[in-house]
A and B are shown apart, each in its own frame.
Chain A
């Protein structure tokens, strides 16, 4: 079984107040696929990964990672401290 790719889809979707159905409609995928992506049961193709990151207006590495994500808040504070 290939290692799971981590993603922030659930966080980003909640942040934007989107339901799974709305995101699925926007990406033209099945609503269950959104749930499986969020749960890590399905790794998207590169094409779908790009579509998702473009939908959220973020670079690919901000949405998907092979390593566990650090909390967004800690990343944000780190950025502010270095600025």
Chain B
């Protein structure tokens, strides 16, 4: 009896049957097995977990670069001589690491960005090439601007460190971030066969 109940509860969870609906059907006199049988198993489509929604990915991108911007602004407000400045490099590194882990483990986009041609189909190869081309263009512009700023305007090592960390962040994440930004929402999950 206990095993039956456990199995029943497990099936209800597995099929994601709303408990209220289940209770209402039971009240109507529909046998539990029939309610369960009429509710097909909804498989979790792996691709939805794989690349995530575009909105989620864009928020991650904004958080990644916004984190750097926030730290840069705070450090300018605090002043270079402030000892609290020492906390910022680890914060920036942690921010970059968190974004890297999320883009790699949650979406696997990083793996696709860094993959060779053999593991990718034509769409993915196109995406990767486009991401790297745009990343190169953006990175060259930013690196040149950063160099110009660092030799003309920057007199404090702390400011130079911020610029260095920003360029490093761009250099290590830009292709993946471009891919994450541009990839459309994943296709809608397929309806289970009836």
Query: Chain A: residues with CB nearer than 8 A to chain B?
Result: 17, 19-20, 28-36, 38-39, 41-42, 44-45, 47-48
Query: Which chain A residues border B105 with CB–CB below 8 Å?
Result: none
A33, B121: Cβ atoms under 8 Å?
A: yes
Interface stretch, picked from B56-64, B68-76, B156-164, B185-193, is B185-193
Query: Which chain A residues border B124 with CB–CB below 8 Å?
Result: 30, 33
Query: Which chain A residues border B122 with CB–CB below 8 Å?
Result: 29, 33, 44-45, 47-48
B123, A20: Cβ atoms under 8 Å?
A: no
Query: Which chain A residues border B177 with CB–CB below 8 Å?
Result: none
B123, A29: Cβ atoms under 8 Å?
A: yes
Kindly state whether residue B51 has any CB partner on chain A within 8 Å. yes
Query: Chain B: residues with CB nearer than 8 A to chain A?
Result: 47, 50-51, 120-124, 184, 186-188, 190, 193
Per a CB cutoff under 8 Å, which of A32, A42, A44 touches B47? A32
A interface secondary structure, majority: helix
CA distance A35 to B184 in the complex (A): 11
| 21 pairs from A and B in contact (CB 8 Å cutoff) | A17-B193, A19-B190, A20-B190, A30-B120, A30-B121, A30-B124, A32-B47, A32-B51, A32-B186, A33-B121, A33-B123, A33-B124, A35-B47, A35-B187, A36-B123, A38-B187, A39-B184, A39-B187, A41-B184, A44-B122, A47-B122
CA distance A34 to B189 in the complex (A): 12
Given contacts A32-B47, A32-B51, A35-B47, A20 and B121 within 8 Å (CB-CB): no
Chain A's closest residue to B119 (CB) is A30
Beyond A17-B193, A42-B123, A48-B122, 18 additional pairs, beta carbon < 8 A: A28-B121, A29-B122, A30-B120, A32-B47, A32-B50, A32-B51, A32-B186, A33-B123, A34-B187, A35-B186, A35-B187, A35-B188, A36-B123, A36-B184, A36-B187, A39-B187, A44-B122, A47-B122
Query: Which chain A residues border B121 with CB–CB below 8 Å?
Result: 28-30, 33
CA distance A28 to B124 in the complex (A): 12
CA distance A28 to B193 in the complex (A): 23
Chain A's closest residue to B120 (CB) is A30
Min CB gap B159→A, angstroms: 41
CA distance A31 to B51 in the complex (A): 12
Chain B's closest residue to A41 (CB) is B184
Query: Which chain A residues border B187 with CB–CB below 8 Å?
Result: 20, 32, 34-36, 38-39
